[in-house]
Amino acid sequence: MSESTPRRPAYNRLLDRAVRILGVRDHSEQELRRKLMAPVMGKKGPEEIDASAEDYDRVIAWCYEHNYLDDNRFIARFIASRSRKGYGPQRIRQELNQKGINREATERAMRECEIDWCEQAREQAVRKYGEPLPKEFSEKVKIQRFLLYRGYLMEDIQDIWRNFAD
C-alpha cells in the first residue's frame, strides 16, 4: 500500500484476523483477545493495531454471535485432545485455568466427559513401563511420580494396582 491509500478500519482488520485465528482451532475468549492484541508482523517489523477497546469487544461479540467462539465447545475439545495425549484431569484443569476458563465451567465439562481416568492412567503407565506393571515398591514410586507429573490423581494411580491386579 502506498502512503496515500487509506487503510481499512481497525475493526475490519481485527475481524479478519479473528476469523483466521479461529479457523485454525478453537480458542478461549482470553486466548483470542491476547492474540488479537499482539502486534502484527508487517514489512517493516511488528506493527501495532490502532484499535480501541470497543473494537476488540465488538469483534469478540461478533465471534460469539456467529458461533466462531464458544468456550464450552473449546473446553470439551481441549479435554478430549489433552486426554488423548495422555494428560490427566489435574493437568488439564490447570491448563484450562491458564487459558482463562473459569473453574465452574471446567468442572462441569470434566463431569460431562466420559473418560475413565483410572484406565487412562494405566494405559500411560503400560505404554511407558511395559506390561505387566512392576510390583516392587521402588518401581511403583517411579510410575506414580510419572503419572502425577502427567496430571493424574493419586487415587486413580493407586487404583491401577487395586483394580488391575494380574
Read out DSSP for 103-157?
HHHHHHHHHHS---HHHHHHHHHHHHH-SSPP-SHHHHHHHHHHHHHHT--HHHH
pLDDT average, residue stretch 142-146 = 92
pTM metric for this prediction: 0.79
pLDDT average, residue stretch 13-29 = 90
Decide: 32 and 24 in contact? Cβ < 8 Å: no
> Helix (H) and strand (E) counts for the chain?
9, 2
Dist CA 50 CA 32 (whole Å): 17
> Is residue 22 pLDDT above 80, yes or no?
yes
Residue 165, pLDDT score: 54
What's the angle, vertex CA 73, arms to CA 70 and CA 78, rounded to 5?
Answer: 120
Dist CA 120 CA 76 (whole Å): 17
Strand (E) or helix (H) holding 40 = strand 40-42
Mean pLDDT of the chain: 86
Residue 162, pLDDT score: 78
Dist CA 40 CA 14 (whole Å): 11
Q: What is the pLDDT of residues 32-48, one digit of tens each?
A: 989 888 877 777 777 77
Residue 160, pLDDT score: 84
> Is residue 135 pLDDT above 80, yes or no?
yes
Grid coordinates belonging to 6? 487509506
> Is residue 2 pLDDT above 70, yes or no?
no
**Phi, psi (deg, nearest 5) at residue 161:** -80, -25
Decide: 90 and 152 in contact? Cβ < 8 Å: yes
Residue 1, pLDDT score: 46
3-state secondary structure of 85: coil
